Structures are given as C-alpha cells and as structure tokens.
Amino acid sequence: MDGSAHMKNKFLACAAVALLIAGASAARPLPSYDLLLRGGRVIDARNSIDGVMDVAIKDGKIARVAPGLFAGDAIKTIDVRGMVVSPGLIDLHVHVYNGTGEKGSYAGDLSVPPDGFTFRSGVTTVIDAGCAGWRNFEDFKDRIIDRSRTRVLAMLNIVGHGMRGGKWEQDMADMDGEATAKMAQRYPNVIVGVKSAHFGGPEWKPIDEAVIAGNRAKLPVMVDFGTDQPARPLYDLLTKKLRPGDIYTHMFSGLRQEQDPATQGPSKAFVEGRARGIYFDTGTGGGSFKFMLAAPIIKQGFKPDSLSTDLHTGSMNSATKDILNVASKMMALGLPLPEVIADMTAHPARQIKREDLGNLSPGSVADIAVISVQKGKFGYTDMGNTRVDGSQKLVAELTLKDGKIVYDLNGLSALAWTAPPGDVRQDSRWTIFPRPDPALGVTAR
C-alpha cells in the first residue's frame, strides 16, 4: 500500500466513524404522522366528504384527509378498507352520574359509568342530560367528568338537585334559572345546555326557568316534556316557549302529541316547531321509542336531527342497547348510512354549539370511529317489544380518542404474535394498549 492509498483509506475510515457518530447522536427524524387509517370510506358531514380516503393523525389531531397518502410517512398504518371512518360519535342524551350510591336516582344507581359503554360503540363524547343541577354539578364533575376517559359534557337540570327522584324533580321552588346560568358560566367548556325533564304538573315554570338560564348562559335547552298536560300543550312548547336551536328529545315516544292522529305523520306542533328551528332528538331510552310513531313519521319525511340513546340502566339492555343499535334501527326504517352518521357527529355538535367536535377537519381533535356495516338478518325492537327486521348492522371496530386507539374489537391495530422483532420497537404513541414485549419471547428470533 503506498502513502496516498493509506491516507485515502484512513480518510474513509474517519468519515465512516463520523457518519456512525452522527447517526447515533442525531435524533432519528420522526415520520410525518403517528397513525394512518388507510382506504376506508370517510364520512364527514361537516366537510361534505363521503369517499374512499386515508386519514392521517399526528399529536392527537387530524393531520390530513386525502386519498393515496404514503404509508411510509406514518409510524403505524392500519388497513380499514371496506369500513366506514367517521368522526368519533357524539351521544347527545345519556345518564352517567353514577357512583353516588343513591338508590332509584339518575344522580346515582340509574346512571351508568361512561367508559363501560362508549368506546365499544364508537362514542367518544357523551352529553349527560340533566342528572345534575347547579347544586350537585361539581360533585358530578369531580366524581365522573374529570375521571373518565370519555369526553363527558353536561346539560344542567333546571332543578337544583337534578334527577334525584320525584320529590326533588317536582319541587318548583328548586327551579332557578339564574342559579343554573351562574353555574353554567363557571364551566363553559363542560356545560353545554340546560335540561328540563320529568315534570308532572300543569305549570310552565320548569320550561320558563330553563329558557331564562339558556338566555343568560347562551345555551340550548333540551326538553323531556314529562307528563302530557292539557294546560301546557306540545304546540305551545314548540311554537311559543322554546327558542330556535332548543331541542325536543324523546321525539318518537308517543307520550305527548308527537303524532298527528289522522295522518299518523308528525303533529302540527312538530312541523311548525321544526320550521322555527327547534331540533328533534331520538333519546330512545327505556320507554321513549315506538315504531308505530317512528315508522310513519319518518316515512312522511320528518327525520331526526340527532340520534341519541338516553342511556341508563333501563335502556342499556332493552330495546335501545347502544347508539349503533339505534342507528342500525333507523337504517332499517329507511335512513341512509351517511345521514345516520351525520346525526351522531356534525348534527349533535351543532346543537350544543361545539362544532370543534364531530368532524375530521385538519387540526381537529382526532376522535374517530371505524365502523363496519355487517350484512345479514337482524332484529330491532322498541319499548313495546315489537320488532322491525333489518339487513344491516353497524358495528364499532376501532375507536380513537385524542389520537389514541382506545378500543379495537378485532385487533386491527395489533401485531401477529409471530411478527418479526423489528415491529415491536415501534413508537406506540397512537395507542393506549401495550406494545408486545420482546422479553416475553413471542417475537424473538
């Protein structure tokens, strides 16, 4: 070896060492995305999207929605071809003030813990419909809202004690619009409405006070109209008392003049209420949904503005079950898939004035439901235990909350246990589930 060749070799060796050092010390550039959901049918009503696209997620937010994104740009890519990719579902009417130990009370035993019911049906946000009033809201917040992985928002009951039972809910002295508005204004990111429910008397006080609270705090009012009372007809509620943007829930209960007895279609109160801008919500619950109303009213073109469950211990195992069962039921009654998705995403978000939720706009929080549409023979029931047969059923496959997988029915995001070890070293910021541990030997080579 002559001198120059020796120098040349020495130079190359130094360069190689320098490159190695640089490679080891400089942080490896992160891929552009944390997670890529590839090839699903994206339905995003807010952005008028219904087509096969990829959805890219980064730092808990939607980064991009477009066809043909490059898998190499993401830490993790999941094939969701043949499935629907929806914004995380919003259930506008649930009861989740669980855990106080109060018997026979929606501020207690009749409520359910949200995380046990939400992600497994594609839901990432629930709105508790009036379990708590201004007196017990902070206990509800501490006990449930602040400790749940589900995003729990609330409508304050116009009754200060909330839904603790008849003795409290019928007490007109505890219906205070001013106090309710004050509490709502203290928690503007969490309290999204005012609720009146279960009232039996002929007076308008619960509605009037709820509207006072709604005006003060600039929030919508949701009404469960309680006992049907001739002194306060549904027509007056929907055409005079409520304001455009307020919400009538239990729309297909048949308990309060919802249906026109002659045509079987929507009552005059419904038609004129909708023309004024009142929203109509299903809140199917345990005893608030009948096919004998829903089928003809929908057939005559009067469709819900939002699909909600009214989830509680009396509805979780009966006809309602969960929000995707309600949506599948509505599809059996003729509502198309894109419409039921919109009724669980963009539409309820608009009703509670939280249009930051329920969409897949870049920059939005990455709450996502991946849903499969199963074909077969399915049965759907109502409060009278009558049945409608359907040929489609929506099933939650994969749910993401804040950009992380929180539910995965069939292990779409999991690795085969025989996968090569390279895969287990992946950054797993896109999931709450543990990554496979090479020490367990399942991936060792």
Q: Which is nearer to Zn ion, 129 or 297 (CB)?
A: 129
Q: Which is nearer to Zn ion, 249 or 345 (CB)?
A: 249
Shortest approach of Zn ion to residue 439 CB, angstroms? 49
In the region spanning residues 120 to 139, those forming contacts with Zn ion, defined by CB under 5 A, are: 129
CB 83 within 8 A of CB 40: yes
Residue 158's contacts (CB-CB under 8 Å, 6 or more residues apart) are: 130, 133, 175, 176, 177, 180, 194, 195, 196, 206, 209, 210, 213
CB 108 within 8 A of CB 102: yes
Shortest approach of Zn ion to residue 93 CB, angstroms? 6
CB 324 within 8 A of CB 122: yes
Q: Which is nearer to Zn ion, 310 or 339 (CB)?
A: 310
Shortest approach of Zn ion to residue 356 CB, angstroms? 25
Could you give the C-alpha distances from 281 to 103, 157, 175, 178, 274, in angstroms and in order? 28, 17, 24, 26, 12
Shortest approach of Zn ion to residue 239 CB, angstroms? 24
User: In residues, how long is the chain?
Assistant: 445
Shortest approach of Zn ion to residue 294 CB, angstroms? 17
CB 433 within 8 A of CB 413: yes
Distance separating alpha carbons of residues 237 and 323, to the nearest angstrom: 27
Q: Which is nearer to Zn ion, 130 or 273 (CB)?
A: 130
Among the residue ranges 116-124, 212-220, 307-315, 393-401, the one whose residues contact Zn ion (CB under 5 A): 307-315
Distance separating alpha carbons of residues 320 and 333, to the nearest angstrom: 15
Which residues are 385's β-sheet partners? none
DSSP for 128-181, please give it: EEEEEETTTHHHHHHHTGGG-SSEEEEEEESBTT-SS-HHHHT-GGGB-HHHHH
Number of residues that bind Zn ion (CB under 5 A): 2
Among the residue ranges 236-244, 306-314, 347-355, 360-368, the one whose residues contact Zn ion (CB under 5 A): 306-314
Distance separating alpha carbons of residues 293 and 250, to the nearest angstrom: 11
Distance separating alpha carbons of residues 45 and 438, to the nearest angstrom: 43
Please report which residue ranges of 242-290 form alpha helices under DSSP H: 268-276
Shortest approach of Zn ion to residue 310 CB, angstroms? 4
Shortest approach of Zn ion to residue 165 CB, angstroms? 14
Tokens 């002194």 locate to: 231
Q: Which is nearer to Zn ion, 88 or 130 (CB)?
A: 130
Judged by CB under 5 A, which of 310, 322, 339, 343 binds Zn ion? 310
* β 49-58/61-66 pair status: antiparallel
Shortest approach of Zn ion to residue 248 CB, angstroms? 13
Phi, psi of 216 (to 5 degrees): -60, -45
Shortest approach of Zn ion to residue 195 CB, angstroms? 8
Q: Which is nearer to Zn ion, 84 or 129 (CB)?
A: 129
- As a dihedral over the C-alpha atoms of residue 253, residue 257, residue 258, residue 263, rounded to 10 degrees, the angle is 120
Regarding 305 and contact with Zn ion (CB under 5 A), the answer is no
Q: Which is nearer to Zn ion, 129 or 349 (CB)?
A: 129
Among the residue ranges 114-122, 166-174, 298-306, 310-318, the one whose residues contact Zn ion (CB under 5 A): 310-318
In the region spanning residues 76 to 105, those forming contacts with Zn ion, defined by CB under 5 A, are: none
Show the site string, 355-394: x = touches Zn ion by CB under 5 A, - = not.
----------------------------------------
CB-based closest residue to Zn ion: 310
Q: Which is nearer to Zn ion, 196 or 328 (CB)?
A: 196
- Footprint on this chain of Zn ion (rule: CB under 5 A): 129, 310
